[in-house]
Amino acid sequence: MSGYRHALVTGGAGFIGHHLVRRLLGNGIAVSVLDDLSMGQRQRVDPAARFIEGDIRSPEAVREALAGVDCVFHLAARVTIRGSFESFYDDMDINLMGTANILRELPASNVRHFSLASSMAVYADCESAVPVPESHTTNPIAPYGVSKLAAERLCAQMLATAGIRFSALRYFNTYGPGQTFTPYVGVITIFINRLLAGEPPILFGDGEQRRDFVHVDDIVAGTVATLAGEPGIYNLGTGRDTSVRELAQQLLALLGPERTVEYAAAQEGELRNSIADVSAARRGLGYRPTRRLAEELPELVEMLRAAVR
């Protein structure tokens, strides 16, 4: 891993973060975790990692977390799209100003590499269901996307000035074990939880929104690959699309073939088409997503079923 010895993972008690922590430890890299546990869970963090409970907006917490660190994976954020209209101030405060606080503390550290977890929400909508490259127009339609795009641009400027390697990773719709249920994030987890509770999946609008569902293991593999890969801005998805209606039908087949979906009004801030062109990540990171949604759903259903028993 290009000589890196100690990583900081902000948000390391969260869904993607705790998987990333385990992968880094497995690769022989020491890990510190900074998480305020607002969404993350302390028990998820591997005992081999050093844990600091704190807010990324706190200079003291960030300084403590950066001690001895030579690379940073910045995942801590408020992650919501529809909900970001009513919580736009908090989104900007945490996602942008929290990032700025980390950047402010870097000059006094030994950090040589910085990876930012960004989002497909930075893109403008696409008229057709085709994979979008990193050059696609960045014109977010929700405040969450605005906060992530601003964080990307701030990192690019300040880290270039500091001579620190930087990669921004635009995660697409990530799913997998350990995703916390919320009303706003993770449509697969939302649908499965509703079906297990005897409730129908709810489709907003016509349900034909097309999404690139990518397994958390592939996201983690792409994220770790930034340590040895070319710095840059990269989409992390699969390049394959599934409509939200198709997803619901697949889950109904597993959990309730006799049931049907419900429809509700289209929601503000949702992209119609969100599919990743991962060509750049293949070239620059050696990224090769291996998990396929249809093959992973049965196991994920059983994991969530066991969790509610």
- Residues assigned a catalytic role: 144
Task: Count the Cβ atoms, other than its own, within 10 Å of residue 104.
Answer: 12
DSSP string, the chain: -TT--EEEEETTTSHHHHHHHHHHHHTT-EEEEEE--SSS-GGGS-TTSEEEE--TT-HHHHHHHHTT-SEEEE------SGGGTTTHHHHHIIIIIHHHHHHHHGGGS---EEEEEEEGGGSPP-SSS-PBPTTS----SSHHHHHHHHHHHHHHHHHHHHT-EEEEEEE-EEE-TTPPP-SSS-HHHHHHHHHHTT---EEETTS--EE-EEEHHHHHHHHHGGGTS--SEEEES-S--EEHHHHHHHHHHHH-TT---EEE---TT--SEE-B--HHHHHHH-------HHHHHHHHHHHHHHHH-
Please answer whether residues 5 and 70 qualify as being in contact, where contact means their C-beta atoms are separated by less than 8 angstroms: yes
Give the sheet arrangement for strand 30-35, strand by strand. 50-53, 30-35, 6-10, 71-74, 113-119, 165-171, 233-236
By the 8 A CB rule, do 21 and 76 touch?
no
